[in-house]
Amino acid sequence: MNDPKGSAGGPPAPEDRIPNQAGIPDPEQASRLRYAINPTRRETTMPSLVLERRDLRDDGVAFGLAGIGGAWGPVDPGVARETMQRAMEIGIGVFDTAPSYGTAEKILGAALATWRGPRPVISTKVGRLPASDGHEIKFDFNPDSMRASLERSLAIFGVPCVDLLFLHEPEYVPREDRARVVDTLRQFQADGLARRLGVAGGYGSGWDGFVESGAFDVGMLFRRVDACIFDGMAEDLPRLRCAEMATYGASPLHMGLLGSRYEEFVRERPKWVWEQPINRAVRLRALAEENNLSLAMLGHRFLFSVAEIDRAVIGARNPAELDDAWAAWKAGPLSEELFAAVCAAQ
């Protein structure tokens, strides 16, 4: 890979960001920033300077709360609270949640109310509405509705301002409404309700009107870069870097395909998981076994090894899953040989 400016986790230098008159980076410049299909391996889990410069801490890992909130199936409330408490105790200092993640915001709010350690970085989202589970999709991008959603979240957390506010699944915003949505989010910042803005999910034309607006500091990739899919490498990551945005890599285990739902997905092959990632997961499981690793350990450590990702967002539904993910983080990046083997499995 030939990307000296983006590979270490920093944005391109300002002089390398050359927007055209429409505010969109010049195609030739985007071409210079385009990544090869395979990611770059980082040698150590170093602090993320690109996030630290945005006052979002330098942690390379965040805890995503969709799982303990019940977005992907019922979770015992006591287990959810125990998992949240465990995350704080082991030193996780960045938490990502959303109104659509079931009870996740309330679990985080309750934990914050009794926590006496350093204040963590908190991100939540607007746009996608609460639903019965993660497969039910409802949106409301009306300015008053988004403001009410954000204010409810802040009240639950007991804080006046969220550190990072994501627009949830921007591809669902009608094109004619995108400029207005950007203005609305900027107003939330001006009103002191959010310090930084991000886009969570989407890619390609789903980002049009957002990434190049200059309003956003972070882009969260979801099922775009992990051990069984590299689709985000060629276009998504160069585009985010060109816009000087930091990168979050969500769902290192590809919605459980590389973890607790492997057997289910391989057997049932649901269309929303896609055939190619499932076939890759089968190859990766054999690779993990050859190297005396669990498939989840391999999946986590692979994403932790990807230099183009500034922060990985891990998920867990119970303390045991959280401890496994944290152990993977502590184990550090994969060896050069194993990282290359995972890339070859694509």
Q: Where are the domains of the chain?
A: 26-33+46-256+303-332
Model confidence pLDDT, tens digit, residues 282-335: 999 999 999 999 999 999 999 999 999 999 999 999 999 999 999 999 999 999
Give residue 134's pLDDT band: very low, low, confident or very high (50, 70, 90): low
Tokens of 205: 């034309």
User: Which phi and psi angles does 293 have, rounded to 5°?
Assistant: -120, 150
Average pLDDT, the chain: 89
The mean pLDDT value for 334-338 works out to: 98
CA 51, distance to chain mean position in Å, is: 13
Domain 26-33+46-256+303-332 = CATH 3.20.20.100: yes
Give residue 85's pLDDT band: very low, low, confident or very high (50, 70, 90): very high
Q: Which of 167, 157, 162, 159 is nearest to 213 (CA)?
A: 167
- Is pLDDT larger for residue 114 or for residue 25? 114
User: Which phi and psi angles does 116 have, rounded to 5°?
Assistant: -115, 5
Q: Please, are residues 45 and 59 in contact by the beta-carbon 8 Å criterion? A: no
- Which of 127-136, 234-243, 294-303, 305-314 has the least mean pLDDT? 127-136
CA diameter of the chain = 55
Looking at residue 32, what is its pLDDT? 39
Q: What is the pTM of this model?
A: 0.88
pLDDT above 70 covers a percentage of the chain that reads 89
Model confidence pLDDT, tens digit, residues 250-275: 999 999 999 999 999 999 999 999 99
